[in-house]
Structure 1
Amino acid sequence: MSVELNHTIVHCRDKRESAQFLADLLDLTVGAEWGPFIPVVLANGVTLDFATAPTGAIAPQHYAFLISEAQFDTAFARVQELGIEYFADPHGRYPGEINRNDGGRGVYFPDPSGHGLELITRPYGG
C-alpha cells in the first residue's frame, strides 16, 4: 500500500468558524461534528479536522491548496470581498498582489485563527 495523508488536525480559536470559512472559500462541505472535530474533506480524500484549541493559543501553520484557475477566481474574489489582507509571498513583502509562479497564480492570506493559507493553480516546479 502506498503512503497517503488521511487527515490532520487544525487547531483553531473556533472550530465551526474556521471550518466554515474554508468551506465557503473553496466551495467545500462542512461535515457533521464528530467528538471534538468538525471535518472538511478535500477532493483527494484528505480530511482537515478542525478542533478548538483548549487554551486558545494557536501555533500558526501553513496550508496550501492546489486549485483550478476557475476556483482561484472564485476564492480570490471572496478573499477580496471579505477585505482579507493578501500577499504574493509567504513573508508578506508584496501586499495586495498575487504571484505568477510556475505559470500559474498564487496568493497567501490568513484564516480566522491566523494560519497561513495559500492558493496555487500550479504545483511548484511545474
Structure 2
Amino acid sequence: MEARVRRVFMTTLFNHTIVAARDKQVSASFFTAMFDLPPAEPGGPFLTVYLDAEVTLLFAEPRIEFPPQHYAFLVTEKDFDGIYARIQEAALDHWADPHRKLPQRYNTNHGGRGVYFLDPSGHYLEAITQPYEADPQK
C-alpha cells in the first residue's frame, strides 16, 4: 500500500464565507440550533455565526436566486451524537451519502461517522467526525 504524502503549503487559514439565505434569521437560527452554537450576532447586512479557529459564517439575503452549496463541518464524536439526535428530534430528512440514496441514517466512512442534511435555504450540510484524509483506503 502506497503511503500518503502530506502536502505542505504556505500558511493559509480559512477565515469566513458568506452563506446565501432566503431568510438569514431562519437559516442562521437553524444552523446554530443544529450545531449547538451561540445565536448569530448582527453585523451590517449579515448575521454572523462564530466557529472555532476564528472562522465565521456570514448569513446574508442576496435577493437573487442562488444554487445550493455544500458545507462540511468536522465535529467531535460527542457533538455528532448531539447533531444526529437533533436531526432525529426534528424529523429531518437526512442521508448517509451525498447522492441521497441512503436515507434516514449516517455513514461510517473514513473511520468515523458522517451525515448529510438540508438547511432551510436548500444548502447541503455535512457533519463528519473524521476528515476524508483519514481514510485508510487512500
Q: TM over 0.5: same fold? A: yes
Correspondence for 1:21 = 30
- Cα-to-partner distance string for 1:56-84 (whole Å, 9 max, x where unaligned): x2310000010011100111110111111
Taking structure 1 as the reference length, the TM-score comes to: 0.94
Q: What is the CA RMSD across the aligned residues, in angstroms?
A: 1.2
Larger Rg: 2
Tell me which amino acid in the other structure corresponds to 1:82.
A
Tell me which amino acid in the other structure corresponds to 1:7.
H
- Cα-to-partner distance string for 1:66-121 (whole Å, 9 max, x where unaligned): 00111001111101111110000001011112100011000001001000000000
Give 1:26 shift.
Answer: 1.1
1:1-126 aligned within 5 A: 2-55=11-64, 57-126=65-134
Structure 1 runs of 4+ off > 6 angstroms? none
Tell me which amino acid in the other structure corresponds to 1:25.
M
With 69-78 and 1-10 compared, the bigger mean Cα shift is at: 1-10
Taking structure 2 as the reference length, the TM-score comes to: 0.86
* Structure 1 unaligned residues grouped into runs of 5+: none
Give 1:2 shift.
Answer: 2.0
The count of residues paired between Structure 1 and Structure 2 equals 125
The answer to whether the Cα contact below 8 Å between 1:86 and 1:96 also exists between their aligned partners in 2 is yes
The answer to whether the Cα contact below 8 Å between 2:96 and 2:103 also exists between their aligned partners in 1 is yes
